[in-house]
Amino acid sequence: MKNKWIAGLFTAIFFVAAIILAPMVQAAYPEQSFELIVHAGAGGGSDTFARTMAFILETEGIVKQKINVINKTGGAAANALNYLASKKGDPYVLMNFSSGPVGALGRGISKAKFEDIVFLAEIIEDPILLFVLNTSPFKDLKGLVAYAKENPNLLASGFATVGGSEHIGTHRIEKAAGVQFNKVGFGSGAASATALLGGHLAFALGNVNEQMGQIEAGKIVPLGTLSEERIPFLPNVPTMREQGVNAIYQQIRGFVAYKGFPDYARKFWQDAFAKLAETKAFNEYIDKNYCVKQLKLGDAFKLDVAKQIEDADADLKTLGLKK
């Protein structure tokens, strides 16, 4: 009899202590270093972005623990997503999120599903533009489209990865303008840009930051951007939509976690990313890399991605990349 009472008393004390102490545990978060998963290899756009953001978070003191970037390449981002899924419930694991994982989720090739992803924050948009050589006979999008209408499948265009942002982007232009291009994949933005410079392509799609040097030298000319609005640092480049081709592709970059990610961790990181977006270092990065700040936390981010997946669904099926 006495034992039961004493046991019960201790249990009660334990529970009360836990309830009192729990917020202290959460307040102590983070107590160990983080893992930041990147689905691409070292040196690429996603990897450099992730490493830079981690560095800024650390040096600005927003996150007082070390953030270790690990590359989990393979499987068109499926590998990284699967690894993230294996860390369910771990408050110390995050993942860099951009077109690669969006595609993987859309095609359903990973164990992680869209509903399982905890969307922390979207931070930037990396606009995609359509480029031609300065010696091109096409001076604007209208001319390009008109020629393409007369000559289906004649104009060669370059994109990076199959099913990637430029591939789907080009396809959307085709759909919107009612034309057919000869789309050729090059495996990377750099290779596609090189082919364009060499005069082997009529045009290519790509990120701004890869091409800014060439743009400033006047070697390549952007004819239009696939973003919703004009890009601040390229105010003279009209959007596709403005030019009568209703094709939009938003390439966004942000950070996510997996289901089971504790609420206190989620709140911490959303605050952290909001602070990050205000730092001088971040804004310098934006300027130097020609992207656009676009901060969307939690559900707003999730909505963006859901829409992207939905929009890309038809494209992926038409392109034969999804059954």
Partner 1 sequence: MDILHNLMQGFGTVLSPYYLWIATVGCFFGTIVGILPGLGPSATIAILLPLTFNMNPTPALIMMTAIYYGAKYGGSTTSILINVPGEGASVVTAIDGYQMSRQGRAGAALGIAAIGSFIAGIIGTFGLIFVAVPLANFSLRFSAAEYFSLILMGMLTIVFVGGKSITKSLMSGVIGLALGVVGIDPVRGAERFVFGNANLVEGISFTVVVMGVYGIGEVLESAEERMKLKPVKVEFSKLWPSLADLLESKWAILRGTIIGFMVGALPGAGATIASFISYGVEKGVAKHPERFGKGAVEGVAGPESANNSATSGSMVPLLALGIPGSGATAVMLGALMMFGLKPGPMLFTTSSDFVWALIASMFVGNIILVIMNLPMVPLFAYSLRLPYKYLYPAILLICIIGSYSLNTQIFDVFVMLIFGVIGYFMKKFDIPGAPMVIALVLGPMLEYSLYQALSLARGDVTTFITRPISATLLGIAVVMAITVTFKTIRMKRAMIDEEEN
Distance, CA of 257 to CA of 118 (rounded, Å): 5
Residue 87 binds to partner 1 (criterion: CB under 8 A): no
Integer Cα distance of 85 and 100 in angstroms: 16
Q: How many C-beta atoms lie closer than 10 Å to residue 158's C-beta?
A: 26
Are the beta carbons of 40 and 74 closer than 8 angstroms?
A: no
Assess contact for 141 and 323: CB atoms under 8 A.
no
Q: Give how far Cα 1 sits from Cα of 4, 6, 7, 12, 15, Å.
A: 5, 9, 10, 17, 21
85, 156, 274, 277: which one binds partner 1 (CB under 8 A): 156
> Number of residues in contact with partner 1, rule: CB under 8 A?
57
Stretch that binds partner 1, among 85-93, 179-187, 250-258, 306-314 (CB under 8 A): 179-187
Residue placing its CB nearer to partner 1 in the complex, 187 or 232: 187
Q: What angle do CA 187, 190, 194 make, to 5 degrees?
A: 105
**Interface with partner 1, residue 317, by CB under 8 A:** no
The least distance separating partner 1 from the CB of residue 19, rounded to whole angstroms, comes to 39
Q: Is 47 in the site for partner 1 (CB under 8 A)?
A: yes
Site string for partner 1, 102-141 (x = CB under 8 A): --------x-------------------------------
Among 165, 214, 294, 308, binds partner 1 (CB under 8 A): 214
Length of the chain: 323
Contact segment (CB under 8 A) with partner 1 among 5-13, 181-189, 234-242, 270-278 equals 181-189
DSSP string, 267-283: HHHHHHHHHHHHSHHHH
Specify the pairing of strand 128-133 against strand 220-225.
Answer: antiparallel
Q: Which stretch binds partner 1 (CB under 8 A): 6-14, 85-93, 144-152, 178-186?
A: 178-186
**Closest distance of CB 284 from partner 1, Å:** 8
Edge-first strand listing for the sheet containing 93-97: 67-71, 34-38, 93-97, 252-258, 117-125, 292-297
Greatest alpha-carbon span in the chain: 95
Using the contact rule CB under 8 A, the part of the chain among 11-19, 168-176, 186-194, 235-243 near partner 1 is 186-194
Considering only residues 217 to 246 of the shown chain, the ones binding partner 1 according to CB under 8 A are 217, 219
Binder among 2, 27, 28, 43 for partner 1 (CB under 8 A): 43
Name residues contacting partner 1, limited to 269-308 (CB under 8 A): 285, 288-289
Residue of 29, 65, 75, 142 interacting with partner 1 (CB under 8 A): 75
Please choose, out of 75-83, 121-129, 231-239, 244-252, the segment that lies near partner 1 by the rule CB under 8 A: 75-83
Do 294 and 125 touch, CB atoms closer than 8 A? yes
Q: Look at strands 117-125 and 252-258 and give their pairing.
A: antiparallel
3-class secondary-structure state, position 150: helix
Binding site residues, partner 1, CB under 8 A: 41-45, 47-48, 51-52, 54-55, 59, 70-76, 78-79, 82, 110, 153-154, 156, 161-163, 182, 184-188, 190-191, 193-195, 197-201, 209, 212-214, 216-217, 219, 285, 288-289, 320-321
